[in-house]
Structure 1
Amino acid sequence: MFLSDPKTLSTPRGTFTWREGGDANGAPVVMIHGWPESSYCWEHVGRHLKDGLRVIAPDLRGLGDSERTQGREHYTKQALALDVVSMLDELGIREFQLIGHDWGGIVAQEVALAIPDRVSRMIIMNIAIINNLKGNMEVIQKVRSGSTKSYWYQHFQQEPGLAEGMIPGKEDVWIGHFVTGAVKPIPEDAVAEYVRMYSIPGTPAAGANYYRAFSDDAKRWSALSDHKWTVPSLYIYGNKDKVILPEYLNHIEECFESIRVEEVDAGHFLQEEKPEEVAGHMNNFLETA
């Protein structure tokens, strides 16, 4: 095992869990998971990270073993980022490198917006860049002109009460649908962990709130077209993703002062399908203590 069992801490914003791994005296790297996963999503890629890194992997609110909170307002990505910042403050982590996948990649961007002076490098994986309004609009136009079948789960979870009423007791079916892996299967231990997590009471509602809060998120991001990331950044893209389409990368270079894109032959959960390859790209980019 690379990551520790979940540890618990309380902050002014709530009670959260996190996992830790690597070199206790290494350069801090904060790794933020997406949906429907937890901090465990970094277990396999972490085994291939180079020495000299201290991994801090939070469980976002409503997922992993962090608190389940009612109300979609707690699940805007800006609010989730403030949760992460409160955890890092409690842990005494000042400057760090930042990695995020899926919704965790959005939360990572919100963290970098909130405390830019503390983020030294940023890696984003298979999710939209929130200030790339041109590229994101091209995705919307492509989806509207074709099939929206791949996005059914987002609409399902946005409907009031459906996730809460239909997922409990079927967690293995629910999780299994998403984490099959486009190129290689996701490790069985990871799948079992996400089924366990989704079986915790309140998780279907909390997970759905990530999507129910999206309209509030989108209003916020619509004002970010003039923002340009100054932090050195890397985008690692699993090219078999059916939801995060290649058009999300259009115009990405206009959003950063320094950005490199690396493509991996994998689906959405690339760090679990191809952990050694993904870790290799991370190792070439991250700085050690």
Structure 2
Amino acid sequence: MFLSEPKTLFTPRGTFSYREGGQPDGAPVVMLHGWPESSYCWEYVGRHLKAGLRVIAPDLRGLGDSERTDGQRHYLKQALAQDVTSMLDKLDISEFQLLGHDWGGIVAQEIALAAPRRVQKMVIMNIAIINNLKGNKEVIEKVRSGSSEAYWYQHFQQIPGLAEAMIPDKEDVWIRTFVKGVETSIPEDAIAEYVRAYRIPGTPGTGANYYRTFSDDSKRWATLSAHRWTMPALYIYGKEDKVIIPEYLNHIEECFEDIRVEKVVAGHFLQEEKPEEVAGYLNEFLV
């Protein structure tokens, strides 16, 4: 094992879980998972990381082993960023390199937006860049011009009460519908971990809240077109993704002062499909 078993942190914002790996006194690297996963998604990438890094992998609110909180406002991505920051404060970590996949990539951007001096470098994987209004508009136009079948699960979860009514006792089917590879299968131990966590009471609703708050999140992001990320950045893209389509990469160079893009033959869950290749790019970029 690279990552530790889940540890618990009590912060002013709530009770959260996280895993650690690597060198305890090494350079902190904060890794944020997406939906429907947990901090365990970094286990296999971690096994290929270079020495000298200290990995801190939080479970975001409502997923993994972190608290299930009622109320959609807690799942606004700005609020989730504040959760992570409160955890890092509790761990006395002031500066760090930051990596996020899927919704974790959005939360990473919200952290970098709120506290840019704390983020030394930023890595984003298979998710939109929140200040890339031009590219994201092109995505919407592309999806509307064709089939939006791949996005059904987002609409499903946005319907009040539907996920809560239909997912319990079907967590294994639910998770396996999404967590699968293109060329390489995702490890069974990882899938079992996500199923276990999704069986924690309340998870269908708290997981759905990531999508139910998307409209309010988007209204904030629509004001960020003038923003530029100043820290060095890396985007690693699994180019077989059916949801985060290539148009998401359009114009991202205009959103950063220093951005590098690498593409991997993998689907959405590239860190588990191609962990050694993803870790290779991370080892080149992280310090």
| Aligned position for 1:103 | 103
Once residues 100 and 67 of structure 2 are traced to their aligned partners in structure 1, the CA distance between those partners, rounded to angstroms, is 20
Whichever residue aligns with residue 167 of structure 2, its letter is: I
Partner deviation per Cα, 1:48-107 (whole Å, 9 max, x = no partner):
000000000000000000000011110010000000000000000011000000000000
Query: SS of 1:82's equivalent?
Result: helix
Once residues 66 and 2 of structure 1 are traced to their aligned partners in structure 2, the CA distance between those partners, rounded to angstroms, is 20
Once residues 45 and 210 of structure 1 are traced to their aligned partners in structure 2, the CA distance between those partners, rounded to angstroms, is 25
Query: SS of 1:260's equivalent?
Result: strand
How far does residue 218 in structure 1 lie from its aligned partner after superposition?
0.1
Once residues 38 and 84 of structure 1 are traced to their aligned partners in structure 2, the CA distance between those partners, rounded to angstroms, is 14
| Aligned position for 2:63 | 63
| Aligned position for 2:130 | 130
- Structure 2: 5+ residue runs without aligned partners? none
How far does residue 183 in structure 1 lie from its aligned partner after superposition?
1.8
**2:263 aligned with 1:269, yes or no?**
no
Once residues 11 and 114 of structure 2 are traced to their aligned partners in structure 1, the CA distance between those partners, rounded to angstroms, is 17
| Aligned position for 2:26 | 26
- Structure 1: 5+ residue runs without aligned partners? none
Query: SS of 1:247's equivalent?
Result: helix
Query: SS of 1:56's equivalent?
Result: strand
Residues 101, 126 of structure 2: 8 Å contact kept: yes
Whichever residue aligns with residue 225 of structure 1, its letter is: S
| Aligned position for 2:205 | 205
Whichever residue aligns with residue 281 of structure 2, its letter is: H
Write out aligned runs for 1:16-55 (5 A): 16-55=16-55
How far does residue 260 in structure 1 lie from its aligned partner after superposition?
0.2
How far does residue 251 in structure 1 lie from its aligned partner after superposition?
0.3
Partner deviation per Cα, 1:217-251 (whole Å, 9 max, x = no partner):
00000000000000000000000000000000000
Once residues 12 and 146 of structure 1 are traced to their aligned partners in structure 2, the CA distance between those partners, rounded to angstroms, is 46
Write out aligned runs for 1:1-289 (5 A): 1-287=1-287
Identity of aligned residues (%): 78
TM-score normalized with structure 2 length: 1.00
Once residues 220 and 210 of structure 1 are traced to their aligned partners in structure 2, the CA distance between those partners, rounded to angstroms, is 15
Once residues 212 and 179 of structure 1 are traced to their aligned partners in structure 2, the CA distance between those partners, rounded to angstroms, is 21
Partner deviation per Cα, 1:188-225 (whole Å, 9 max, x = no partner):
00000000000000000000000000001000000000
Root-mean-square deviation (CA, aligned residues, Å) is: 0.4
How far does residue 34 in structure 1 lie from its aligned partner after superposition?
0.2
Whichever residue aligns with residue 238 of structure 1, its letter is: G
Residues 180, 269 of structure 2: 8 Å contact kept: no
Once residues 48 and 85 of structure 2 are traced to their aligned partners in structure 1, the CA distance between those partners, rounded to angstroms, is 26
Once residues 25 and 70 of structure 1 are traced to their aligned partners in structure 2, the CA distance between those partners, rounded to angstroms, is 36
Once residues 271 and 278 of structure 1 are traced to their aligned partners in structure 2, the CA distance between those partners, rounded to angstroms, is 6
Once residues 180 and 50 of structure 1 are traced to their aligned partners in structure 2, the CA distance between those partners, rounded to angstroms, is 27
Once residues 43 and 276 of structure 1 are traced to their aligned partners in structure 2, the CA distance between those partners, rounded to angstroms, is 11
Residues 33, 100 of structure 2: 8 Å contact kept: yes
Once residues 182 and 92 of structure 1 are traced to their aligned partners in structure 2, the CA distance between those partners, rounded to angstroms, is 39
State the 4+ residue runs in structure 1 displaced beyond 6 angstroms.
none
Once residues 242 and 197 of structure 2 are traced to their aligned partners in structure 1, the CA distance between those partners, rounded to angstroms, is 25
Query: SS of 2:51's equivalent?
Result: coil
Residues 181, 269 of structure 2: 8 Å contact kept: yes
Once residues 114 and 91 of structure 1 are traced to their aligned partners in structure 2, the CA distance between those partners, rounded to angstroms, is 19
Whichever residue aligns with residue 52 of structure 2, its letter is: G
Once residues 107 and 182 of structure 1 are traced to their aligned partners in structure 2, the CA distance between those partners, rounded to angstroms, is 26
Whichever residue aligns with residue 237 of structure 1, its letter is: Y
How far does residue 180 in structure 1 lie from its aligned partner after superposition?
1.5
Once residues 72 and 217 of structure 1 are traced to their aligned partners in structure 2, the CA distance between those partners, rounded to angstroms, is 12
